[in-house]
Amino acid sequence: MNKILNRDELNKTLDRLRAEGKKIVFTNGCFDIIHIGHIRYLKESKALGDVLVLGLNSDRSVSLIKPGRPINTQDHRAEVLSSLEMVDYIALFDEETPYELIKLLQPDILVKGGDWKKEDIVGSDIAKETYSLPYIKGISTTEIIERIKRL
């Protein structure tokens, strides 16, 4: 199964899954250098529903919000993420935020990491439920990059 879909393909797939009674969970991010925080976060996100859709920032989108990044290209990041069993589908988005993608997909549940307040999570006005999952202190891509630079 190809997990990396364009918006139209993903929307049709989710319509079919919804018709089967599946609960759709959406999360998003850059996922530039995969670490334990990402893995725990994605597992917890998947546990909230039946299907986990990951909105992945494109290279252009990452560079808008994190100057000098990404470290890994969008194709590499998408391939690594698609190999994770808890991730069901991936859609790239080129905008600064995934709002338009969320609006199109209409997920039941929206999830972000604990560094986001629930009320600040983009798309929380669309999803039926919104969660801010616990943040693991000291583990982030930025912190990993900084440790590498110090070596």
Angle value at C-alpha 101, between 21 and 76, nearest 5 degrees: 100
Q: Which residue has the tokens 């630079």?
A: 149
Element (H, E) at 61: helix 59-65
Task: Identify the structural domains of the chain with CATH numbers, from first to last.
Answer: 7-150 (3.40.50.620)
Give the residue among 26, 124, 32 at the shortest CA–CA distance from 72. Answer: 32
Give the residue among 127, 105, 130 at the shortest CA–CA distance from 116. Answer: 130
Contact 96, 120 (CB under 8 A): no
Instruction: Walk along the chain (151 residues) and give the pLDDT tens digit of each residue.
Output: 699 999 999 999 999 999 999 999 999 999 999 999 999 999 999 999 999 999 999 999 999 999 999 999 999 999 999 999 999 999 999 999 999 999 999 999 999 987 777 888 999 999 999 999 987 777 788 788 888 889 8
What's the CA gap between 70 and 64, in Å, rounded? 10
